[in-house]
Amino acid sequence: MASVNQREKNSQPKSNKKLVIRLLWLVVAAAVFGFALVPLYNVLCSVTGLNGKTNNTADLSKTVVDKNRLVTVEFTSTV
Per-residue pLDDT band for 68 (boundaries 50, 70, 90) equals very high
Per-residue pLDDT band for 55 (boundaries 50, 70, 90) equals low
User: How far from the centroid of its chain's Cα atoms is residue 33's Cα?
Assistant: 9
Q: How many domains does the chain have?
A: 1
Task: Name which residue leads in pLDDT, 52 or 68.
Answer: 68
Structure confidence by residue, pLDDT tens digits, 1-12:
556 666 666 667
Contact 8, 16 (CB under 8 A): no
Cβ within 8 Å of residue 46, ≥6 positions away: 53, 54, 55
Which SS3 state, helix, strand or coil, does residue 68 take?
Answer: coil
Whether 35 maps to a domain, the answer reads: yes
Averaged pLDDT for residues 6-22 = 80
Supply the range of the domain harboring residue 38: 2-52
Cβ within 8 Å of residue 53, ≥6 positions away: 42, 45, 46
Whether 12 maps to a domain, the answer reads: yes
